Amino acid sequence: MTDERPDPADGAEEAPSTPEPAPAQHPVSAALTPALSSTILATLEHQGQTAFVVRSPDQRALLEHLRFEQNFEYLKDVTAIDFLGRDTVERFQLVYVLHRLTDHLTIRVHAWLSEEADEAPSVVDLWDLARWGERETHDMFGIVFDGNPDLRRLLMPEDYPAFPLLKDYPLKGRGERRQFPYLQPRGGEMVEGTPPPYPVTIGRGMHTPDYIEEVRRESRPKGE
């Protein structure tokens, strides 16, 4: 369907013209400077789509190059993947989807981000789309983008205590609701009540036997 194989008419890769049947280098990577090429850890190919994998602060220079030198003017998406529990280079991977209008070529840049660093360079000065793209990634993964002027929560409430798309955030179960202040009736008026202490931290160990027992206890009718 989508055909993104390198265009043989591109002048950048014609120059060496090696006759050996080496795999054709992608026109985008052929036009990279040696300094940028050395930062690329791997090039992923699947169904004709190409992705360049780098380590986190390096994607800034690569994206700048792609934006200004190779004319990828249209950023389609910014997102992240959490590889918790898998044997990967780092825990997080940032994903940038770039598009070039002249030949309608779409490539991706993946950037490994370690759990400890937790901070990535922002690209809002290159594409305005990153304002909300990075905001949502921050909202869902807790990744901080250094340089984004408006890194508030986007979809979740402002005082939400967790980051839902992390793999250690449970799909089921309740608990996060208790992190909000709530009112309870006392002496004829509503006063701010303290929620009972929450047994486990958000996102980890939600389904421990203690917790399940506590949920059962709470769900029994009053007065038993």
Partner 1 sequence: MSLDPRASEAPDVNAGTPLPTAATIERELDAGRSKGHLDTVFEVQDGSDDQRLVMNFGPQHPATHGTLRSIFTLEGETITEADVEIGYLHTGFEKLAENMTYQQWVTVTDRMNYLSAINNNVGYAIAVEELLGIEVPPRCQALRVILCELSRIADHVLCVGLQAMDLGAFSVMLWSFEKREVVYDIIEAVCGARLTTSWTRVGGIIRDVPPNFSDLVWSFVNDFPKLHAEIHYMLSSNRIFKDRVQGVGVVDRESALSWGLSGPIGRASGLELDVRRDKPYSGYDKYEFEVPVQDTGDSWARYQQRMAEIEQSISIVRQALSTLPDGPVVHEDFKTSLPTKDAVYNDMESLIHHFKLVMLGHGIRPEEGAAIYSCTEVPCGELGFFIQSDGTDTPWRIRIRPPSLFNYAIFPRLVEGGMISDAVAVLSSFHVIAGELDR
- Quick one: 101 or 212, whose CB is closer to partner 1? 101
**Tokens read off for 139:** 């909202």
Q: Does 12 bind partner 1 (CB under 8 A)?
A: no
Residue among 19 and 188 whose Cβ is closer to partner 1: 188
Report the site for partner 1 in 71-110 (rule: CB under 8 A): 73-77, 79, 81-83, 86, 95, 97, 101, 104, 106, 108
Q: Would you count residue 136 as binding partner 1 (CB under 8 A)? A: yes
DSSP state of 24: P
Q: Tell me the residue type at 4.
A: E
**144 is an interface residue for partner 1 by CB under 8 A:** no
- Please work out the total of residues on this chain that contact partner 1, with binding judged by CB under 8 A: 47
Tokens 């190409």 belong to: 50
Give least dist CB 223 to partner 1, A: 29
**Binds partner 1 by CB under 8 A, chosen from 28, 54, 140, 206:** 140
CB 138 within 8 Å of CB 149: no
Tallying the residues shown for the chain, one arrives at 224
Residue 36 has a CB neighbour count (10 Å cut-off) of 19
Round to whole Å and give the CA distance between 136 and 151.
9
How many other C-beta atoms are found inside a 10 Å radius of the C-beta of residue 146?
11
Interior CA angle at 84 toward 87 and 64, to 5°?
A: 85
Among 20, 87, 116, 192, binds partner 1 (CB under 8 A): 192
Site residues for partner 1, 164-183, by CB under 8 A, read: 164-165, 167, 169, 171, 183
Question: Could you give the CA distance from residue 182 to residue 118 in angstroms, rounded to a whole number?
Answer: 31
Contact 10, 25 (CB under 8 A): no
Segment interacting with partner 1 (CB under 8 A) among 9-17, 31-39, 123-131, 198-206: 123-131
Rule CB under 8 A: which residues touch partner 1? 1-3, 44, 46-47, 49, 51, 73-77, 79, 81-83, 86, 95, 97, 101, 104, 106, 108, 127-129, 131-133, 136, 140, 152-158, 164-165, 167, 169, 171, 183, 190, 192
